[in-house]
A = this chain, B = another copy of it.
């Protein structure tokens, strides 16, 4: 029995929005984003969940190394994998990696479909919650390239950054987590978090998608002092999805 080849795209343009996840940066963060999407979707059965296609091919060059040390750029691979998502029928692409958003505008120029920025999603929550003083916890590349500082520039928000020594600890914590050493990643990160709390920071932006995984216990026990960028991205993605379902764009 052979069924006619029918791509999801043709259906999607008429009916179904499909979320494309440009993942693998890292793979654990991709799974975390998918998990958060499922948990926050008000579905009563499989069929009511949001359609997702995830490409988690992690051979994309290290984002931080490229920005800081001019090692090979991840852009080419990201465009290549974004095209896989488009061809597979994704109608909105998200990237569960803050540092990769250094190339967000470049990526947008290479696709016809919607994209939702994790940085914009997180900063929108800062505005909505009227937060006045944040700390930025992120990769050294995200911090040094001012991604969050620029995005928050229009808001009256004080940004506290870790000291250079603390920032090294944050970065090493992220690499330790990626290497599977959760204990080491926590040992490096927790003193930085404690120090920032003592400086009167209202919210810590978890501006690297590994951080909510490293701080899973802390975020679940004291959620109010963290702003999880992945969570913000997923909330905005779910809102986008139901907007499309309720008010689908008029076909061209």
User: Which residues of chain A have a CB within 8 Å of any CB of chain B?
Assistant: 1-3, 5-8, 16, 18, 24-28, 30-31, 34-35, 38, 43-49, 51-62, 76, 79-81, 83-84, 87-89, 106, 110, 175, 178-180
Complex partner residue of A44 from B5, B38, B110, B180, CB under 8 angstroms: B180
Which residues of the partner chain B approach A43 to less than 8 Å between Cβ atoms?
179-180
Q: Are B88 and A178 in contact (CB under 8 A)?
A: no
Asked whether, in the complex, the Cβ of B1 is within 8 Å of the Cβ of A53, the reply is no
In the assembled complex, the CB of A89 is this many whole angstroms from the nearest CB of chain B, namely 7
Given A6-B80, A44-B179, A87-B88, is A27 in contact with B49 using a C-beta cutoff of 8 Å?
yes
Q: Is the CB of B56 within 8 A of A55?
A: no
Closest to A33 in B: B31
Chain B residues, Cβ within 8 Å of A16: 57, 59
Residues from chain B with Cβ under 8 Å of A80 in the complex: 3, 6-8
B contact residues around A27 at 8 Å (CB): 34, 38, 46, 49, 52
Closest CB-CB distance, A83 to chain B, in whole Å? 6
Contact A62 B38 (CB under 8 A): no
